Structure 1
Amino acid sequence: MDGYTAKKSTSFETLVIQNITNVNELKAKLSGIILAGEDYQYDVSDSMKVLLTSTDQDIVQLSIEAIAELVKCEQKRDSYANKSIIGPILDILRKETVSDNIEMVKQCCRALGNLCCDCDTSRRLIVSLEGIPLLVKLLERSIDMRLDEIQTLASKTLLNFAIGGAEFTDIIFQAGIVDMVQRMLSIELKKDDFDDDTLSTCLLILSVINDNTPELLYSEMVNKTILQVLRDSLNMEISELCLDHLHSQAEHESVKTLIAKEGGVQLVCSRLEELVSRHTAGELNAADTEVEALMKQACELVIIVLTGDEAMHILYNKGVSEVYQTVVKWLDSPNHQLLTTAVLAIGNFARQDDYCTHMMEDKIFDKLLDIFEVYNNFSIQIQKEPEKKHPIDPITVIKLLHAVLSSLRNLAVPVANKRVAAAQGRAAPLLLNALPTTEDHHVAYKLLATIRLLDVAKLLASEPVALATVARWGHAAEYAGAAGEAPRLLAWAVDGCISSLVNMLVASHSLMQNEAILALTLLAIESLKKLSPDSQTEFDYEKSFVEQLIKSEIGKHVTILIDTNCAKMPVEVAENLLAFLDITSKSNKLALDYKDAKVHECLMKFSDSRTDLTTDMKSCIFGVFSSITNNGKND
């Protein structure tokens, strides 16, 4: 009933408008519709189609203004997304822009812009009626004639059109919108007072195009212009848009180099310091979240530029550049965003060996260890009291620990730096002690890699708890990074840890036995894998691994383990032991050692005495028995 009444009322309203013969009354009616705007409850699109063909230009202009207001209502927009409405509006814009029709042109732009808002029907109609080249030409004309209001309205219309997606951004790109945006920005930069509305519209157009075409590389002139806008504007919204643009474009190596050469990173660093200072002093009106978001964006831009090889060299400049000196200073910053950025920046500078050596001499390595120690302690406190409110949130702690370890790892690559770190004697104990308390797999991955590169495997071998932790991470298949790094660390530890692991097999606790088995299994997988003929280093690992196992009397220890735990060995321990024996018994030298120690006979007794072994486990026992019997022969 209500729907019928509404429909009837709309039809009646349309009839009323169509039957107004007095021009002044019609103007008054249209003015009333404009005043009501999106709250006007009737659909009078059919009336508007007729009024757009009027010979009275005032009526046409008022009708277009009414349409611009009416289609602000999303529910009404589809009714006006019609060729009979959009076509006449575009026809008006095809005429020459003169002083007498400037207001008409403004209303046409407003109507088209509002029609394009979240409406693909309107967008496609504009395309089919060849409206985009027309709007770009209008924009160019408004720039030439310095018709600032039309320029703003035309650019906003094109922005609303572009927001529709790649289909539409490609059309305005091909029509030459970027050149127009470049001109508008350049004109603004020459003014004493910027029009922030124009700047933000221009930057949003570039942003929407870039979002829909991520691989797009804008011209050097465009990117230089954006950098200059960032330099000259203090508006936070404009700064954020500039940073967003530069961040997207910095995916290209050439733009990283451009930003570095043009002083962009120095600019961002100084802005960051100013932002932190003013925010701390309470001088900013913006919400904390807005400031944090802007800082995050700026910090990310600094780091992404530093990932460029040429940019990194430019910004290091023998360790005397303003950027390098700034990030070194930030290593003492209480602001976590600046501190994290500084640590990540050091890691990027540390991609060059001679830079690493210089930074080691400058005690940067020591500074990073200080940071690691502080935040690792924070991490331990958070783990102990997860419900308590801590001075720093867990996500920030993890991010900082990950960043610090990445930088320590890079600094530890040169052999000379390894020697310095070993001589100082601080890094190895600090990192090894952190292993058992590290819970985040991203941090664990970097920690394992850093320990490996510091060449402290022999120290690792003397730390059963740390060894057990490495084994645990190596068994964590769901975390590929840490699980892959653990056996690599164990492989480097061959000379130092085998005897310790083998001795752990006869420990009094099944948990330690299991950790030793897991560690040895991971090491076996890494050391006994099939290798390429020219992989001499890997071959040395295999040879050393086998020799160390035999020297540690692996067969004897396995026999003792089985004999003394025949009845009480947990099934999961037995399963892991069988996996280890299955891998290692395929080596003839190890099979011979197992045979001498009667491992195969112990296994058969174990199999006969247990009723809880699965079919797969019993099958594995027979396989190992066969390998020992057949392979364990003297050549």
Structure 2
Amino acid sequence: MEEETNNVEKLIEDLKEASISKNEKTENNISHITEILDSLVKISQTSTTQESTDFIRDKIFLQLLNHNSEVIAAKTAKTIAEIAKTEFGRKKCTNEEFVKNLIELLKSHDLELLTQTSRALGNICYENVKGKTIIRENEGLKNILKVLKRGIDLEEKEGAEYLRNVATGFLLNYLVDQSRLEKEVIKEEVVPAICSILELDGIKTREAAMQALLTLGVLNDSGIQFLDDRLSIILVEILASDTSSEFSEMCLEVLHGQADDENAKLLLAKAGVCELLLKLLEKHGPRCTDEETRSVLKVACNLIVLILTGDDSMNLLYKGPVYKTLTEWLESNDEDLQVTAVLAMGNFARADTHCEHMVDQGVHLKLLKLLSKNNKNKCGDIRFQHDLLSALRNLVIPTKNKSTVLAGGLIDVLIPMLDIPTFPVVFKLLGTLRIVIGGQQETAILLGKNSDLIKKAVEWSGTEDHPGVQGEANRLLAWLIINSRHNEVVDSVIKHGGVKRLVKMLNSKYALMQNEALLSLNILTAICLSDSEKPLIDSEIGPTLRRFLRESATTLEPPIVYNSLSLTLKLTKSEILRDHLKKSELHSSWKELLISRESELENAKEKLKILSSALDSLD
């Protein structure tokens, strides 16, 4: 240790003497100084002590950075770069005077000096908040980009590629963990510079291009939206070159990070990203057998689906080969490609015209075939079940499609799924059943007579663990009654405790659900008034209606108010229910409502008289 210290001290003294020599500019003296600097670097690299880099704090290094010889300045910058490779050395190099002098050297035209200075500063700001702060306070980003553009302008000249590499690395280290630099990044045109790097070095998979892609990843993580036509085309070209799986993965991650934006989705769709990925996946898919390559495949699949979540991009891709290929993937032996196809069908089916065309082509039959193999609690893949149900749910929205999909065996495939306890799957299952019975009386009666379905719907409509499931279960009960208008369906709902759920549904914060509850209760009381008396009273229909009139009906559309009036009048036909309504002081609530909305509600006074007469409460 002592011997090492003595060696360092002697080298520093030699360095000082050489720097003040009358022959400081001679070739021999420059060579002597560089040899000393190399020796100091070697000691720092081989030593195991933190003190081995203390020498860098000596003022001689500041003097050498400002040496008249650019060779000496470059060699000094290189020494600093080497010392700053370690955490301890980095801390000792982090002082304002040092960094300012280095940044000043970035204005040089000497290629080697620019290269070594960029290395030094890049290493200093690596995982070093203080170093980044000093660089930022001295117009760091602007100076980095000047060096980067110099490397770009030199194209393939000797040393240019390495300069681009270290300058891009410097940029990367500087931007990491500096999300607040978004405005500066955009103002200084960082992304156009990165595009130029990728155009020069991307397809050749050079180190600078890798640093550039990593930098875009940092911008992604900062939430900066930077994708444009130029960058889209460049990234597609790199992907299409298919020369490096590592580069392909990085390109995919950049694109995936940008594709949450609607405009970006359309850009990527127009750039042919999905068409390219489909070809690459079909080419490399069979060879993606290990975890690493399979992970890249999944990123590509996810990107295709993400692009399809945009309305404009989805409509564009539906018209071309992407849709055709994805429908073929529904029968793929590769599970990930098949899942991608199912998710894609769900997205394509967001437009009614697409839905009708897809059913005409028999897409629903392929989906039903897949679901029939995955519709049991024990054997089904939860995610796959969810995705398949999402696609089928969308396909049965158009009226034209309902009977066709039903004829394809939809109900037989769905009913076994009642035993699945997973709420996200249950949510899609209930929604699919509800939508498909719209205007399909025969199917509504069939399902309404299924006691297992009614029991489950009543059970799920009471859950507090998943509001979506609760809402869909309530709506399904209401839709079964509305669309069947059948006494056996109504009997089953009453028998299994569904009345309580429908009454509670009147308190929903959604007008649509409130109206569905009113319509179903109107039909229920018209068909089975006597059987519904006790469950209605137990469900506190009077206080619930009163709350509905005071809290909701004041702002609801007139047709919904009329439905609630119709229900009230039906309830008064039962003596027991009429007494219950009287005790609930429902008449006064109706009176307040009808008077307050007299100008909006047709024949409000006449309706109030009818209601008063029905309640036998003329006051």
Shorter-chain TM-score range: 0.7 to 0.9
Does structure 2 retain, via aligned residues, the 8 Å contact 1:49–1:85? no
Once residues 83 and 190 of structure 2 are traced to their aligned partners in structure 1, the CA distance between those partners, rounded to angstroms, is 28
- Is 1:239 the equivalent of 2:248? yes
Kindly report which structure 2 residues correspond to 1:421-460, keeping only aligned pairs within 5 A, or say none: 421-424=405-408, 426-435=409-418, 437-455=419-437, 456-460=443-447
- 2:147 corresponds, among 131, 138, 141, to 138
Which of 380, 385, 391 matches 2:378?
Answer: 380
Contact preservation (8 Å) 1:266, 1:322: yes
Shift of 1:293: 2.0
Which deviates more from structure 2 when the two are superposed, residues 489-498 or residues 127-136?
489-498
Correspondence for 1:153: 166
Q: C-alpha offsets along residues 479-524 of structure 1, whole Å, 9 cap, x if unaligned? A: 1221121112122112448855764699xxxxxx6xx22x222222
| Equivalent AA in structure 2 for residue 213 of structure 1 | G
C-alpha contact 2:81 2:119 (8 A) present in aligned 1 = yes
1:53 aligns with 2:47: no
Q: Which residue of 1 aligns with 2:359?
A: 360
Is the CA contact (8 Å cut-off) linking 1:156 and 1:201 kept in structure 2? yes
The 10-residue stretch of structure 1 (74-83 or 550-559) with the greater mean CA deviation from structure 2: 550-559
* Partner residue, 2:469: 482
- How has the CA–CA distance of structure 1 residues 540 and 15 changed in structure 2, closer, same or farther, with 3 Å as cutoff? closer
Match of 2:426, as an amino acid? A
Aligned counterparts, 1:315-354, within 5 A: 315-317=317-319, 321-354=320-353
Alignment partners' CA distance in 1, 2:84 and 2:516: 76
In the alignment, what sits opposite 1:470? 457
- Matches of 2:469 and 2:436 in 1, distance apart? 17
2:577 and 2:115 mapped to 1: Cα distance? 95
Matches within 5 A, 1:17-32: 17-20=11-14, 23=18, 24=32, 26-27=36-37, 29-32=39-42
TM-score by length of 2: 0.78
Q: Do the aligned residues in 2 keep the contact of 1:372 with 1:404 (CA within 8 Å)?
A: yes
1:374, CA displacement in angstroms?
Answer: 0.8
Matched residue, 2:306: 304
Specify the alignment match of 1:83 in structure 2: 96
Please point out which of 416, 431, 436 is paired with 2:400.
416
> SS where residue 380 of structure 1 aligns?
coil
Pairwise CA distance, 1:404: 0.6
Q: After superposition, what is the alpha-carbon deviation per residue over 1:594-621, rounded to whole angstroms, capped at 9, x for unaligned?
A: 6448997xxxxxxxxxxxxxxxxxxxxx
State how far apart, in whole Å, the 1-side matches of 2:104 and 2:584 are.
90
Residue aligning to 1:386: none
2:209 alignment counterpart: 199
Aligned twin of 1:96: 109
SS in 1 for 2:340: helix
Q: What residue ranges of structure 1 are gaps of 5+ in the alignment? A: 1-5, 281-287, 383-396, 507-512, 563-576, 601-622
The alignment covers a number of residue pairs equal to 545
Q: Counterpart of 1:291?
A: 293
Q: How does 1:98-137 map to 2 (within 5 A)?
A: 102-137=111-146
In structure 1, what is the Cα distance between the partners aligned to 2:237 and 2:7?
54
Report how far residue 184 of structure 1 moved: 1.9
Aligned pair partner of 2:237 in 219, 222, 228: 228
Contact preservation (8 Å) 1:372, 1:401: yes
Task: Report the Cα offset of residue 13 of structure 1.
Answer: 7.8
Q: Distance in 1 between matches of 2:524 and 2:42?
A: 94
Within 1, Cα distance between the matches of 2:390 and 2:350? 11
**Secondary structure of 1:327's match?**
helix
Post-superposition shift, 1:453? 1.1
Determine if contact 2:195/2:231 at 8 Å carries over to the other structure. Answer: yes
Contact 2:57 2:92 in 1 (8 A): no
Contact 1:155 1:201 in 2 (8 A): yes
Q: How far is the alpha carbon of 1:627 from its aligned partner?
A: 5.8
Please tell me the residue identity of whatever aligns with 2:502. Answer: L
Q: Which amino acid aligns with 2:534?
A: V
Kindly state the Cα deviation for residue 164 of structure 1 after the two structures are TM-superposed: 2.7
Specify the alignment match of 2:504 in structure 1.
Answer: 525
Asked whether the 8 Å contact 1:200–1:238 carries over to 2, the reply is yes
8 Å CA contact 1:433–1:466 kept in 2: the answer is no
Aligned to 1:186: 199
Percent of residue pairs bearing the same amino acid type: 26
Task: Specify the code of the residue in structure 2 equivalent to 1:552.
Answer: C
The aligned residue for residue 257 of structure 2 is: 248
Q: What is aligned with 1:566?
A: none
Map residues 203-218 of structure 1 onto 2, 5 A cutoff. 203-214=213-224, 216-218=225-227
> CA 1:598 to 1:35, structure 2 compared with 1: closer, same or farther past 3 Å?
closer
Superposed CA deviations along residues 162-216 of structure 1, whole A, max 9, x for unmatched, are 1132234543442232222222222236xxx7033222112222222232134x2
Q: Does the CA-based 8 Å contact 1:45-1:80 persist in structure 2?
A: no
Q: Aligned AA for 2:435?
A: L
Partners of 2:368 and 2:410 within 8 A in 1:
yes
Shift, 1:330, TM fit:
0.8
Deviations 1:79-125 (A, max 9, x none): 2211222122222222222xxxx433322221111111111211121
CA distance in 2, matches of 1:117, 1:471: 60
Q: CA deviation at 1:334?
A: 2.4
> Tell me, which stretches of 5 or more residues in structure 2 are unaligned?
19-31, 438-442, 548-566, 589-611
Mean Cα displacement is larger for which, 290-299 or 402-411? 290-299
Q: Distance in 2 between matches of 1:414 and 1:159?
A: 51
Q: Does the 8 Å CA contact 1:27/1:62 hold for their aligned counterparts?
A: yes
Change (3 A) 1:153 1:217: closer
Cα drift, residue 312 of structure 1 = 2.1
Amino acid at match of 1:462: K
Counterpart CA distance in 2 for 1:581 and 1:9 is 97
Residue 459 (structure 1) shift: 2.3
Deviations 1:369-426 (A, max 9, x none): 111111123x4247xxxxxxxxxxxxxx1111111111101110111111223344x2
Distance change >3 Å, CA 124–CA 524, structure 1 → 2: same
Residue in 2 that maps onto 1:548: 524
Shift of 1:331: 0.5
Deviations 1:521-546 (A, max 9, x none): 222233686997xx8x9758624523
CA change 1:590–1:521 in 2 (3 A) is: farther
Contact 1:34 1:65 in 2 (8 A): no
TM-score (norm 1): 0.77
CA contact (8 A) 1:398 1:440 kept: yes
> 2:255 is paired with a residue of what secondary structure?
helix
Distance in 2, matches of 1:521 and 1:131, equals 68
| Letter of the 2:480 counterpart | A
8 A contact 2:314–2:348 mirrored in 1: yes
Of the candidates 313, 316, 327, which is equivalent to residue 314 of structure 1?
316
Give the secondary-structure state (helix, strand or coil) at the position aligned to 1:272.
Answer: helix
Secondary structure at 1:19 match in 2: helix
The 1-side partners of 2:509 and 2:80 are apart by: 75
- Deviation, structure 1 residue 218: 3.0
Distance 1:199 1:32, change over 3 A: closer
